[in-house]
Amino acid sequence: MKEGSDMENRQKEEFRPLILVAEDDDSNFKLIKAIIGKKCDIEWARSGEDIIELFKQYRQDTNAILMDIKMPVMNGLDATKIIREYSKDVPIIMQTAYAFNSDKENAIKAGANEVLVKPITLHVLRGTLSRYFPKIVW
């Protein structure tokens, strides 16, 4: 019986980062969730305005943000600039379908820490997140 309680304690102590995901495409979100959902808690926003509201709501608990650049209502670049007014520390990892250097430069200028080119793969996303969360065994 003691072994079971030790296991429960280890599970309770396991770090599960809260990742806010800004992604307007259902299938792209499902892919991200499949890649990181077992190790992370995820909150989903479908627009730039929604991710700002989610960040305000979960600001103290947010460990990272995955931000799509091209979204309706407000794009990821503008949303990132606004989030940076609230926090300089939270890692923001932009995702884009465009691999042009100018897109990456614009994302970094807006406040992104990194830029990933879609389609996002398991190896790339987990590798990127492991730099921010090295204690998680992906």
Q: Which pLDDT tens digits describe the chain residue by residue (138 residues)?
A: 444 544 444 455 689 999 999 999 999 999 999 999 999 999 999 999 999 999 999 999 999 999 999 999 999 999 999 999 999 999 999 999 887 889 899 999 999 999 999 999 999 999 999 999 999 998
Cβ distance 107 to 94 under 8 Å?
yes
Is the backbone of residue 17 left (phi > 0), alpha (psi -120 to 50) or beta?
beta
Whole-angstrom distance, CA of residue 96 vs CA of residue 76: 10
Task: Please answer whether residues 29 and 74 qualify as being in contact, where contact means their C-beta atoms are separated by less than 8 angstroms.
Answer: no
Could you tell me which residues are beta bridge partners of residue 117? 96
- Are 16 and 134 in contact by the 8 Å Cβ rule? The answer is no
Strands 114-117 and 41-45: unpaired
pTM for the whole structure:
0.89
Please give the single-letter amino acid code of residue 109.
K
Domain 16-129 has CATH 1.10.1040.10: no
d(CA 111, CA 51): 15
